[in-house]
A and B are shown apart, each in its own frame.
Chain A
Amino acid sequence: DAGVIQSPRHEVTEMGQEVTLRCKPISGHNSLFWYRQTMMRGLELLIYFNNNVPIDDSGMPEDRFSAKMPNASFSTLKIQPSEPRDSAVYFCASSALGTWGGDTQYFGPGTRLTVL
């Protein structure tokens, strides 16, 4: 079984450019999560979808960040315009039941973003 798939694995871009990160959750999972990992702040939840609907985006740092889930098998996280402080590893995770914590989340391998 394929796990959570993320692309690209690495992205290097220049400040001001648009960046789009992609995620394919595990088939049959109802919930999808986007996280950002930095040394300073650890793993932060950015946004959470349940049945393709955004439930909580309070972790999205700024209006420069947006996320969509047009269908059950695909989600994007977009940063426009990107800034050097956006450099981090971005993880996508999915879970089967759609509850916050009584349900295991399965993580993708992450996208390492570097904004120059």
Chain B
Amino acid sequence: DQQVKQNSPSLSVQEGRISILNCDYTNSMFDYFLWYKKYPAEGPTFLISISSIKDKNEDGRFTVFLNKSAKHLSLHIVPSQPGDSAVYFCAASGGNTPLVFGKGTRLSVIA
């Protein structure tokens, strides 16, 4: 069973517009959430994180929102740039669980 789900395998957005990537989780013990970005032929790189005591964390063009009651988080990228085209992984951890990754969403930003 998938504890972290990214239901959209791909997303296309025009340059300059907002990209919204979604992630749902099932384990109520998760208390720390991360987004990683992965370019082809490279390993995932850490992008932004959020603790369950917050509902929003912002870093430049990237904002992560956490809705604990819905067990849902989202990553907003504003404005989207062609260099943001990559696969984005949502990950979660908490309690005694190791970091669990979703399957990823491939974002394509079209110039």
Contact = CB atoms under 8 A, between A and B. Distances in A.
A93 interface: yes
Interface in A66-116: 91, 93, 100-102, 104-110
B49 A100 contact: no
Contact of A101 (B41, B93, B104): B93
Contacts, number: 59
B103 interface: yes
Contacts of B96: 100
Given A42-B103, A101-B92, 6 more contacts: A42-B101, A43-B103, A44-B101, A100-B99, A105-B46, A108-B43
A14 to B, nearest CB: 24
Interface residues of A, number: 22
A110 B43 contact: yes
Contact of A45 (B51, B99, B102): B99
B46 A101 contact: no
| Majority secondary structure of chain B interface residues (helix, strand, loop or mixed) | strand
Contacts of A4: 43
Contacts of B51: 102
A10 to B, nearest CB: 10
Interface size bucket, B side? Answer: 20 to 34
Contacts of A102: 32, 51, 93
Interface string B70-110: 00000000000000000001011110111111111000000
B14 interface: no
B34 interface: yes
